[in-house]
Amino acid sequence: METVYATDRRRNELLACNPPATIDKDKLDLFWSGALEKHGRKPLDVRREPAATPFKSVRAERLTFAGHDDTPIRCWLLIPDFFGEDGGQKPCVVTFPGYTGDRGNPERYAGWLLQGFAVLAVDARGQGGETGSLLTESSGSVKGWVSRGITDIENSYYLAITMDAVRAVDAAARQPEIDASRIATVGASQGGGLSLLAAALNPKVGAVVADIPNMCHMDHGVLHSGSSLSEIAAYVKRYPDRLNAVMETIAHFDLLNLAERIEAPVLMSVGWKDTVCLPETVYAVYNRIRSGKRINDYPYSGHEVSEFQTSQAYAFLREAFGLV
């Protein structure tokens, strides 16, 4: 008799997660075709200036581009030359931070640089980095960022940060040192969600590494998660009459509804003990992705990314971009 462990049963449960979409597909497509067409007309206004780094074989620059509402989005552009290469175009990872985080210092990206990747490390507007936000609010919000404009999609924080991510990929693709055909989006938690959103909305994304991603099956997360979505729960607790308007807004950014638009190969990870980005939400999105995909389960991990998973990400992108 074949042995079936608890982990086998749990994996089968997660693979069966298939909640329905929370917005009509035609309505969603109409919204995003308009938003992307509008942003396609807006200049990126990319600016670069040299920056110091402890790495003698890495060229570091502070790159700034115009985000959703012309907010200057601050980034690191890091170009490796560890191996005496001839200056040819490099594959690139565009990275996004977790919630409340920042892009950090260039040293944070040593692993990617040693793999031969250029890096565009992007701040999240208004959060812990050097990037502010010009987003205006017509009404108040609760503590944090994500409930800002939550009943007014055109002025919502979610639209702003999503379009910042889409435009970051465009900014990377326009740099002469970067091979625009080999751009990956990479991040964990909020950064994982933004990596998937960028891939769903920008065809320039050639591969995705999304660890323990947020912004998945968001209505379930608002109800159960201890993530940034708990801020939306707090908002609805204060204004219960606005529940439907809130759910309407977040449905436009929920990867449950956008997953089928992703065409790039995807590597995801999930911790089964994660109370922030719940495994049910991650699998609900993973199960809808139609492109080449793989998910690494960590039954005994919470909201964390292990060294093992980081090594898996290096190998995945090296294979995806022909660097093996």
Q: How many CB atoms lie within 10 A of CB 40?
A: 10
| pLDDT score of 87 more than 80 | no
Q: In the chain, pLDDT over 70 holds for what percent of residues?
A: 98
Does the predicted model carry a pTM greater than 0.85? yes
Distances (CA, A) of 2 to 5, 14, 117, 299, 303: 10, 21, 44, 21, 32
Q: How far apart are CA 205 and CA 67, in angstroms?
A: 18
**Is 99 labeled as ligand-binding?**
yes
Per-domain boundaries in the chain: 25-320
| pLDDT score of 33 more than 90 | yes
pLDDT tens-place string over residues 155-193: 999 999 999 999 999 999 999 999 999 999 999 999 999
Q: Which CATH class, in words, describes the domain spanning 25-320?
A: alpha beta
Q: In the chain, pLDDT over 90 holds for what percent of residues?
A: 91
- Quick one: pLDDT at residue 83? 57
Q: Mean pLDDT, the chain, as a whole number?
A: 95
Active site residues: 189, 274, 303
pLDDT tens-place string over residues 265-283: 999 999 999 999 999 999 9
What is the 8-class DSSP label of residue 1? Answer: -
- Quick one: pLDDT at residue 84? 52
| Axis-axis angle for helices 6-15, 279-286 (nearest 10) | 50
**CB–CB of 215/130 below 8 Å?**
no
